[in-house]
């Protein structure tokens, strides 16, 4: 569970809810309008369905789960695993890795090392793994694009709902007592659109972008590691190559741990 996502959403809803409660008092029900919600949420979904293929829209839920259910991965552990594979290959030969990867839990590592063990051409290994990387980036990108689109269309539909409400209000100008409540209902749609976009859709899209970058970096490390192992590089060289992906502070920490 990604606590930052959960805390952020709960904090945002709590702050807005508290402001409404303090401002409205016993008239809090005035901030609830099902018709306005229908225009914003339904309209945003309709716009997304118009913009994207249905398959992209249906995959959004699965991709969105990465913003909430995320298992933190350690770059340092991944590098250590790849270096240990390099040491085994250097000591016992690359064919010995077939037994070593049986306990690996990353299918991407297994795929790459298995191709190296099978004697696949290095260029072909790199091409296949890079194609897999691009496919993953494409799937993640389509999910993020749907949320970005919702964040773009929700405020627009909020404005459309407000305009509809204003037209209805102006049609009833002969009743001065109805102008105030009518204006409030009209403005609610704009508020819903802004909340839906800026509290949910856009922040979740940004979180998915960060998770995508993290996963692509991890898989890039795997590709570089597999190619180094396949070429027979010294384990220390493999380690130095892969450590370039770590921030300088983390490189220093890993070196201290090794010395200890």
Q: Which two tokens stand for residue 218?
A: 């991890």
pLDDT at 147: 93
121 pLDDT more than 70: yes
Top pLDDT among 99 and 249 is at 99
- Cα(56)–Cα(88) distance, integer angstroms: 43
> Model confidence over 17-40: pLDDT tens digits?
888 888 877 778 878 888 889 999
Q: What angle do CA 90, 91, 96 make, to 5 degrees?
A: 85
Top pLDDT among 237 and 1 is at 237
Residue 250 CA to its chain's centroid (Å): 24
Average pLDDT over residues 57-84: 84
pLDDT at 260: 47
Contact predicate 218/78, CB 8 Å = yes
Residue 124 CA to its chain's centroid (Å): 30
Domain extents in the chain: 1-30, 33-75+123-259
Nearest to 255 by CA among 234, 235, 240: 240
254 pLDDT more than 60: no
pLDDT at 169: 81
> Model confidence over 177-222: pLDDT tens digits?
767 767 777 889 999 999 999 999 999 999 999 988 888 999 999 9
Our separate counts of H helices and E strands in the chain read 12, 0
């Amino acid at each position: 569970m990604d606590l930052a996502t959960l805390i952020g959403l709960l904090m945002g809803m709590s702050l807005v809810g508290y402001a409404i409660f303090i401002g409205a008092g016993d008239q809090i029900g005035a901030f609830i309008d099902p018709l306005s919600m229908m225009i914003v949420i339904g309209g945003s979904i309709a716009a997304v369905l118009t913009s994207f293929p249905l398959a992209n829209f249906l995959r959004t839920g699965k991709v969105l789960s990465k913003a909430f259910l995320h298992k933190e991965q350690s770059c340092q552990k991944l590098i250590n695993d790849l270096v240990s594979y390099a040491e085994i290959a250097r000591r016992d030969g690359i064919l010995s890795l077939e037994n070593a990867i049986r306990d690996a839990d990353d299918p991407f590592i297994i795929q790459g090392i298995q191709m190296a063990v099978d004697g696949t051409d290095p260029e072909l290994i790199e091409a296949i793994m890079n194609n897999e990387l691009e496919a993953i980036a494409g799937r993640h990108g389509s999910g993020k694009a749907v949320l970005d689109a919702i964040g773009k269309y929700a405020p627009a539909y909020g404005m459309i709902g407000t305009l509809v409400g204003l037209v209805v209000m102006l049609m009833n100008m002969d009743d001065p007592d109805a102008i105030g409540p009518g204006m409030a209902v009209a403005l609610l749609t704009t508020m819903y659109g802004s909340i839906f976009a800026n509290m949910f859709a856009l922040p979740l899209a940004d979180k998915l972008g960060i998770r995508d970058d993290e996963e692509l970096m991890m898989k890039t490390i795997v590709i570089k590691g597999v190619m180094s192992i396949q070429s027979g590089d010294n384990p220390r060289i493999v380690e130095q190559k892969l450590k370039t992906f770590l921030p300088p502070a983390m490189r220093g920490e890993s070196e201290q741990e090794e010395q200890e």
